[in-house]
Structure 1
Amino acid sequence: MQITESLIKQCFTELESNSSIKQKYKDYYEGNHSILKDYDMQDSRSNRKLIFNFPRKFVDNETGYLLGKPVNFISKSDDKDIVNCIDRNSSHWDKEHNISLRKQSEIYGESYELNYINTDGEFCATILTPLECYVLEDGTAERNVLLAIHKFKRRFDDTEYLDVYTDAEILHYKLIKDSEIELIGKHNHIFGRVPVIVCPANSERKSGFEDLISLFDSYNALNSDLVNEIADHRNAYLIIENAKIEEEDLLKMKQMGIIQVPKGGAVKWLTKDINDSFVKNELENIERKIYDMMDEVNFNENWASNTSSLALRNKLLNLENRVSMRQAFMEKVIKERLKNLFIYIRKKEGKVFDYRDVAVKFTRNLPTDLVGLADVIVKLKDVCSQETLLTLLPFIENPTVELQKYKTEKASASEEDINKNII
Structure 2
Amino acid sequence: MDSNFTVTPELIQKLLEKHGTEREKKLLKYYKGEHDIVNRTFEDTSKPNNKIVTNECKRITNISVGYFIGKPVSYSASKENQAYMEHLQAVFDLNNEQKVNADLAKSASIYGYGIEVLYTSESLAGELEIKFAFLDLEEQDILLVYDRSVEKNLIMAIRYYSFTDVLTGNLTKEAYVYTEDAIYQYKQSDDGMELVDAEPHYFREVPINVYYNRDNVSDFEDIVTLNDAYNILQSDDINESEYTNDAFLLIKGMIADDEDIKDMKEKRVIHVEGEDAGVEWLIKNLNDTWKENLKTRLKNDIHSISATPDLSDASFGGNVTGEAMKYKLKAFEDNRAAKEREFKPALQRRIRLITNILNYLGNAFDWREIIPTFTANLPKADLTTDDVTKLVGAGILSKDTARSSVAAIEDPAYEAEKVQQETEDYIDLNTPKEVNIDDEQDAEALQGNK
TM range (shorter): 0.7 to 0.9
Query: Given the two structures, how large is their TM-score scaled by the length of structure 1?
Result: 0.87
Of residues 334-343 and 158-167 in structure 1, the stretch that sits farther from structure 2 once superposed is 334-343
| Counterpart position of 2:64 | 62
| Counterpart position of 2:34 | 32
Please give the alpha-carbon distance, in whole angstroms, between the structure 1 residues aligned to 2:31 and 2:68: 19
Please give the alpha-carbon distance, in whole angstroms, between the structure 2 residues aligned to 1:256 and 1:3: 91
Aligned with residue 138 of structure 1, among 143, 147, 168 = 147
Q: Work out which of the two has the higher radius of gyration on C-alpha atoms and give 1 or 2.
A: 2
Aligned with residue 374 of structure 2, among 346, 362, 367 = 362
- AA of the residue aligned to 2:134: I
Of residues 94-103 and 149-158 in structure 1, the stretch that sits farther from structure 2 once superposed is 149-158
Task: Describe how 1:229-248 pairs up with structure 2 within 5 A.
Answer: 229-248=240-259
Q: Secondary structure at the match of 1:254?
A: helix
Please give the alpha-carbon distance, in whole angstroms, between the structure 2 residues aligned to 1:63 and 1:394: 25
Task: Describe how 1:195-234 pairs up with structure 2 within 5 A.
Answer: 195-202=207-214, 204-234=215-245
Instruction: Check if 1:12 corresponds to 2:12.
Output: no
CA offset at residue 205 of structure 1?
A: 1.5
Task: Describe how 1:247-286 pairs up with structure 2 within 5 A.
Answer: 247-262=258-273, 265-286=277-298
Please give the alpha-carbon distance, in whole angstroms, between the structure 2 residues aligned to 1:319 and 1:107: 17
- Whether the 8 Å CA contact 2:40–2:51 is kept in 1: the answer is no
| Counterpart position of 1:101 | 104
Q: Percent identity?
A: 23
Please give the alpha-carbon distance, in whole angstroms, between the structure 2 residues aligned to 1:355 and 1:383: 34
- AA of the residue aligned to 1:403: A
C-alpha deviations, 1:265-290, integer Å up to 9, x for none? 42211111111000000000000010
Change (3 A) 1:283 1:339: same
- Whether the 8 Å CA contact 2:182–2:201 is kept in 1: the answer is yes
| Counterpart position of 2:437 | none
Please give the alpha-carbon distance, in whole angstroms, between the structure 2 residues aligned to 1:2 and 1:125: 26
- AA of the residue aligned to 1:405: E
Q: Secondary structure at the match of 1:116?
A: strand
CA offset at residue 57 of structure 1?
A: 0.9
Aligned with residue 289 of structure 1, among 265, 279, 301 = 301
| Counterpart position of 1:345 | 358
Change (3 A) 1:275 1:362: same
- Whether the 8 Å CA contact 1:72–1:360 is kept in 2: the answer is yes
CA offset at residue 39 of structure 1?
A: 5.7
- Give ranges in structure 2 of 5+ residues lacking alignment: 434-450
Change (3 A) 1:221 1:111: same
- Whether the 8 Å CA contact 1:168–1:188 is kept in 2: the answer is yes
Instruction: Check if 1:122 corresponds to 2:129.
Output: yes
Please give the alpha-carbon distance, in whole angstroms, between the structure 2 residues aligned to 1:394 and 1:215: 44
- Whether the 8 Å CA contact 2:75–2:371 is kept in 1: the answer is yes
Change (3 A) 1:14 1:103: farther
Change (3 A) 1:342 1:395: farther
C-alpha deviations, 1:236-292, integer Å up to 9, x for none? 111112233331231243245333445764221111111100000000000001001
- Give ranges in structure 1 of 5+ residues lacking alignment: none
Please give the alpha-carbon distance, in whole angstroms, between the structure 2 residues aligned to 1:101 and 1:420: 54
C-alpha deviations, 1:29-82, integer Å up to 9, x for none? 111112223566544311111111111111111111111122111114553222
Instruction: Check if 1:147 corresponds to 2:151.
Output: no
Matched residue count: 414
Q: Secondary structure at the match of 1:249?
A: helix
Q: What is the aligned-residue RMSD (CA, Å)?
A: 3.0
| Counterpart position of 2:441 | none
